[in-house]
Amino acid sequence: MEEMNHVAVLDFGSQYTQLIVRRVRELGCFAKLYKPEELSRLGKPGAIILSGGPKSTSDSDAPDLDFALLDSFGVPVLGVCYGMQLLNLKFGGTVEPSEKREYGPAELIPESKEGLFKDLSERSQIWMSHSDTVKNLSDDTTVLAVNQHGTPVSLAWGERFFGIQFHPEVTHSHEGTQVLKNFLELATDLAEFRIEDMKQELLSEIREQVGERQVVCGVSGGVDSTVLAVLLKEAGVNMRAIFVDHGLMRKDEGIEVRRNFERMGVPIETVDASELFFGRLEGVAEPEKKREIIGNLFVDVFWDAVGDAELLAQGTLYPDVIESASNEGSKASKIKTHHNRVDRILELQKQGKVLEPLAELFKDEVRELGLSLGIEADIVNRHPFPGPGLAVRCPGVVDRKRVTIIQEADAIFISKLREHGWYDKTWQAYACLIPVKTVGVKGDERSYEWAVGLRAVISEDAMTADWVELPYEILRETSHLILNNVPGVNRVLYDVSTKPPASIEWE
């Protein structure tokens, strides 16, 4: 059913493309992402959105699309940024380099408050990210909105083709969701998006991909791998769930993970590999190197435990994919290598041995999916935890002593957040070690010890984040407990950095 009247989003490579899919789904419509060359495989779309992208339409390798085919669907089409520029070219206009790249906020001033701009304010903030501009508009072009300088930022060609220069999908475009909603209202009978349907679709895709083979999945106790394991169980495929304890987990996490899986009726096998991990990490301080060691070792240990299973399932989500993308493999640029994107896994992927059913989903959608699979709310609402564990919260070298400090401080912080009702109000919170020794006084003695950093953020999808204005009371009580109970620490700091430019984790 998903092929009928769904919203097809053609991906021209913007970092934000998946957000368009997500916004459309939030508006209750079924949306799917396609490559431009997949246009002939859209089935029966009810509306089509062309995303933005990093290329210039004049680049020799600029992605193009079969316009006659696009037109033949007879449905409303919205071009966003690069998508709008492409439409302008197809309709006889030109696209030229802007005098300077426009990045950041601008103003949207609709010419009329009908159609695409129904219910919008006279002026509202929009978010721009482009270096080309539409010029020489053809006679068939209508300007629907301009910016504060009078430059066209939205165009229409006839009744079905629309373009917007800004990104409606990012929250910095304050009324962007309304623009998307208005666009969707121009389509007829769009298919509804319900997590229940998504679940059914994922279950049948899993059954089809796995067939009679055995699939193994690594579980960490985190939301993603937990939902994945329960999904595989629900699909009824031949599966084994393996929990590799790399020793870089939160305090007592191993016990909790085993207890939770028992509650859910999914048997798991545990491998205690902490000796091995600490051994390999000895003396290694470079963040990407640490990630690589942990990622590759994880696969080795895991694969050893597995024997000769035919498929590996991973709970990779979209933000993991986008942030590890290489310039070559994808059009978005590399920020850091995520645990589930190390060479070894990429190699397995080439052999068609990796299953990533959640790769199109964002965290909150995975949580909703988890609930619909019957997983209890306290498990589904656990804060995200990175694959490389506390290693990325321990800048510099990683050893047991440092990890124990983080575990103890983190347990104190999290319990304080829970006690004050702030755990569920934050997207992610943790303690990290700042391996800088400073002077202090303990008792009557001089101390020369490390600092602990506390971080609590809110985020919608981990792609951007803001630090949380926690009540001073929580910070004070946490700091007091850490300074009095965690040996080796004489200073506690609260991290007030947004993402970007910082990231959520320290490494």
**Which residues contact ligand XMP by CB under 6 A?**
320, 323, 338-340, 384, 386-388, 392, 428, 462, 499, 503-505
Which of the following is catalytic: 6, 29, 130, 169? 169
Quote the least distance from Cβ 430 to ligand XMP, whole Å: 8
26 catalytic residue (yes or no): no
169 catalytic residue (yes or no): yes
167 catalytic residue (yes or no): yes
Could you tell me which of 245, 247, 293, 271 has the C-alpha nearest to residue 399?
247
247 vs 387 by CB, closer to ligand XMP: 387
153 vs 391 by CB, closer to ligand XMP: 391
Strands 214-218 and 311-313: parallel
Q: Are 397 and 282 in contact (CB under 8 A)?
A: yes
Quote the least distance from Cβ 248 to ligand XMP, whole Å: 11
Which of the following is catalytic: 167, 246, 338, 383? 167
Please report the beta strands in 320-418, taking only residues with DSSP state E, as ranges in sequence order. 354-355
CA distance 276 to 238: 29
Amino acid residing at 432:
C
Q: Are 51 and 10 in contact (CB under 8 A)?
A: yes
Amino acid residing at 406:
I
Name the strand (E) or helix (H) holding 485: helix 472-485
323 vs 365 by CB, closer to ligand XMP: 323
23 vs 339 by CB, closer to ligand XMP: 339
Which of the following is catalytic: 29, 81, 217, 394? 81
Place of tokens 């208005």: 182
Strands 141-146 and 94-110: antiparallel
18 vs 154 by CB, closer to ligand XMP: 18
Name the strand (E) or helix (H) holding 424: none
Quote the least distance from Cβ 388 to ligand XMP, whole Å: 5
10 Å CB burial of residue 418 (0-12, 13-18, 19+) is exposed
Residue 459 CA to chain centroid, in angstroms? Answer: 10
**What 8-state DSSP symbol labels residue 505?**
S
Quote the least distance from Cβ 271 to ligand XMP, whole Å: 18
Which structure tokens are listed for 49?
């959105």
CA distance 450 to 446: 13
Q: How many other C-beta atoms can be found within 10 angstroms of the C-beta atom of residue 243?
A: 23
Which are the catalytic amino acids? 81, 167, 169
